[in-house]
Amino acid sequence: MRWDAEGAARAIAAAKASGMDFLEIALLDPSSTDAALGRRLLEQAGLPAVCSLGLPQAVWASHNPDGAIAFLTLALDRCAGLGALALTGVTYGGIGERSGLPPTTAELDNVARVIDAAARIARGHGLAFGIEPVNRYETHLINTAAQGVAMIERVGADNLFLHLDTYHMNIEEKGAANGIIAGRDHLRYIHLSESDRGTPGEGTCDWDEIFGALAAIGFEGGLAMESFVNMPPEIAHGLSVWRPVADSAEEVIGRGLPFLRNKARQYGLIERERGAA
Active site residues per annotation? 132, 226
Q: What is the Cα–Cα distance from 193 to 216, expressed in whole angstroms?
A: 20
Beta strands at 187-192 and 160-165: parallel, antiparallel or unpaired: parallel
Instruction: Give the E-state strand segments of the chain in sequence order.
Output: 23-26, 49-54, 86-90, 128-131, 160-165, 187-192, 222-225
Contacts 24+ apart (CB under 8 A), 103-108: 103/62, 103/140, 103/141, 107/62, 107/63, 107/141, 108/62, 108/141, 108/151
Residue 118 CB-density burial (10 A; 0-12 exposed, 13-18 middle, 19+ buried): buried
CB atoms within 10 A of CB 189: 24
Q: Tell me how far apart the alpha carbons of residues 223 and 240 are, in angstroms, rounded to a whole number.
A: 24
